[in-house]
Chain A
Amino acid sequence: MESVRILVAISNDVSLEKLRSILAENGYIVVDQARDGNECLRKMNALRPDISIIDYNLSSISGYEVSKIALEDKLCDILLIISEAQKNYIEELIAEPGFFYIAKPLSRITLINVIELIIKNRKRIRELEKQIDDLKNALDTRKEVEKAKGILMKTLNLTEAEAYKRIQKQSMDRGIPMKEIARAIILAYDINA
């Protein structure tokens, strides 16, 4: 299992220490701790943890605000510690991907389970994001190659297969992706037009 880097932000020293030791016992790396909201933001930016466990009641900036900024800026996944009553206040965040919460009192087992869940979820989302990127890339390439093909067919009187071959050969000879070749053809055509 890849090691997960966690930042812990709690104003209360006793709870902070307790949480740190639970995490450490279970093999997680606690990269740092923060005692107020601003410090938490600074450390999230500087250390880029995978997950931040944040108490709702932080001084200077509340844990809620910190979570919101972290999610908007895509800094890391958030596990917010709330009291049952605070659940009403976090409704806006609940739908956000990457946001998780847990209500006090914390039990060791639930905490670890939730963290496991977050990690699993992270992994899955990262895989999906990569797939989307790949697909987008492939789609872009196809769109541009199609267009370039059309230009070659028109200007050089080629068949579709010949035009495609031309582009492919240029790409292979020069070691440049087909997308780039297609772009160059389109650009050259646009300049001439």
Chain B
Amino acid sequence: MDRYTREDIIRIVKEQDIKFIRLQFTDIFGIMKNVAITSEQIEKALDNKCMFDGSSIEGFVRIEESDMYLRPDPNTFVIFPWRPQTGKVARLICDVYNTDGTPFEGDPRYILKRALKKAEELGYDKINVGPECEFFLFLTDADGYPTTKTHDNAGYFDLGPVDLGENARRDMCMALEEMGFEVEASHHEVAPGQHEIDFKYSDALNAADCILTFKLVVKTIAQRHGLHATFMPKPIYGINGSGMHTNVSLYKNGVNAFYDPSRPLYLSQDANWFIGGLMKNINSIVAITNPLVNSYKRLVPGYEAPVYNAWSARNRSPLIRIPEAKGESTRIELRCPDPSCNPYLALAAILCAGLDGIKNKIQPPAAVDKNIYNMTEEERKEAGIDLLPCTLKEAIDEMSKSDLVRETLGDHVFYKYIEAKRKEWENYITRISKWELDEYLTKY
């Protein structure tokens, strides 16, 4: 589905008086990078002649091989809605290429594309993904630094009839819609200051692009409202963290391959195997779907985040849930990912884990419709319910053992990722935290 041709973009840039175009891509941790070019250079950019220094990007390459090319994807062309009428800014998401014209294997977008190709080889021509992103809106202090105070409980309610968060969220939705998002739902979440905006599912590559764009929009609009938006998975102890539940369905010849009215729960054999694959491989991929030290502080009992490796059609405590909607909308909801993940890598990992199930016909264990939090350890053992990794270290250890993940990410990203995450863990575990001081300093 091509939205724009090269000529369309050149024409729009001229017509809309666009001054700057940002060429965007991500490093392996999902941090968005930009190369800004002026409108005069748009043709050069669209001819894939824009270069940058890859050695400056974390997880990319060494200095000796640092020249890389950006190939803009014309379908990702969007004008930012929050700039003034004169001097507008647009963006294009790019693929990263080596000087010899081959795709760079450290480019997360390429890794997702490669995973999608694998799905296509198995006959799945379309993978639909619907993410549900949660985030917190915090106040900033007088110097502009973010705090963990939320507008809800900072005594702001008595100021005016309008809730700051509502207001900011409404503007976010409007900006997203102007950028072509179909916003399906937007609401206040469980925790104070926590919000969720859901947009319509789309094919996996587009969904990953959208998640990145979404984060940028949320942060920018929040800033314009004097607020700080964060996708940190668990910013405050004792209240819900922010997740990114990910809905997935596979299509074969335009038909939802997860739907089969003749089977229990209307779930096709493929869907069952996909669940089986996810459950078998989940421990190896959580390091990607939940990449931070902080991610694992969200995955604790009591805050609607999954802790156990199980699936259910009914309750919301396990890792995988089957939403009620049937037919075209039959899908699997994976509940562990959080919005700090690199969406390209996370979707590639989820997809490959599920496809592994289909390829090897892995039957999932029976669904668990009880609240797992209320089961005793023996009951859980009997039902064969395992815990998810409890720390980033466990997750990385699991990941490093997995051939599937290595194949999915490619050697380059696989080893760089593990190395960086081990460093992150090392860095964290050797620090003395506030909790330790509070707990021990006076006692001993």
Contacts and interface: CB of A to CB of B under 8 A. Distances in A.
Contact of A42 (B84, B142, B226): B226
Contacts of B144: 36-38, 59-61
A40 interface: yes
A41 B224 contact: yes
Contacts of B143: 36, 59-60
A35 B139 CA distance: 14
Interface in B136-188: 139-144, 151, 156, 159-160, 162-164, 167-168, 171
A42 B151 contact: yes
Interface stretch (A17-25, A43-51, A78-86, A169-177): A43-51
B226 A48 contact: no
Given A37-B226, A38-B226, A72-B82, A46 B156 contact: yes
A46 B140 contact: no
A41 B167 CA distance: 12
B225 interface: yes
A176 B340 CA distance: 51
A126 to B, nearest CB: 20
Interface of A: 32, 35-43, 45-48, 59-61, 68-69, 72-73
Contacts, number: 64
Chain B interface size band reads 20 to 34
A69 B151 contact: no
B168 to A, nearest CB: 7
A83 to B, nearest CB: 21
Contact of B142 (A39, A41, A43, A69): A39
A60 B164 CA distance: 19
Q: Give me the 8 closest cross-chain CB pairs, A-B, nearest first.
A: A60-B144, A41-B226, A42-B226, A38-B226, A38-B140, A36-B142, A46-B160, A47-B160
B227 interface: yes
A41 B139 CA distance: 11
A46 B151 CA distance: 11
A192 B225 CA distance: 49
A45 B226 contact: yes
B142 A60 contact: yes
A94 B132 CA distance: 42
Contacts of A42: 139, 151, 156, 164, 225-227
A59 B142 contact: yes
Contacts of B141: 36, 60
Interface in B213-231: 224-227
B164 A45 contact: yes
